[in-house]
Amino acid sequence: MNAGKFKPIELWGNVETTNELLETDISANKIRTVWAELIPRTGAMLRGEADTIISKCTHKFKMRYGSGKDIEEDMWFVYRGQRFDIKFILNPRFKDESLEIFVEEVVR
């Protein structure tokens, strides 16, 4: 694994907090920054209703196992202001050395 290609990536998720009325709120918050390599995988341009163009891009984040072992599929990454939703998490050959997290870029 070439750590020189790793970039800081923000990990976000829905976090429970208690407000001033002691009620539980759920809101999107940055959880932490992880170091990962962003690898483009595929992309497609689709036509939607009323001639709108929809872009579907998928990527893979590759990181060390220890830094990502608690990441769950309901979380997402933010890199350079762009959101990437997690589709599935792969532990290659179950060696607990690295993780490959397949994501879909959210186009706004």
Q: What is the pLDDT of residues 34-68, one digit of tens each?
A: 999 999 887 666 666 666 655 566 899 999 999 99
Provide the pLDDT for residue 102. Answer: 92
Q: How many domains does the chain contain in total?
A: 1
Q: Which two tokens stand for residue 92?
A: 């290659």
% of the chain exceeding 90 in pLDDT = 58
Residue 11 predicted with pLDDT over 90: yes
Cα–Cα dist 6/22, whole Å:
40
Please give the mean pLDDT across all residues of the chain.
Answer: 86
Q: What is the pTM of this model?
A: 0.78
Q: Which two tokens stand for residue 100?
A: 């490959």
Residue 31 lies in a domain: no
Contacts of 98 (CB under 8 A, 6+ apart): 1, 62, 63, 64, 65, 91, 92
Does 91 reside within a domain?
A: yes
Query: Under a CB-based contact definition with an 8 Å cutoff, are residues 105 and 82 in contact?
Result: yes
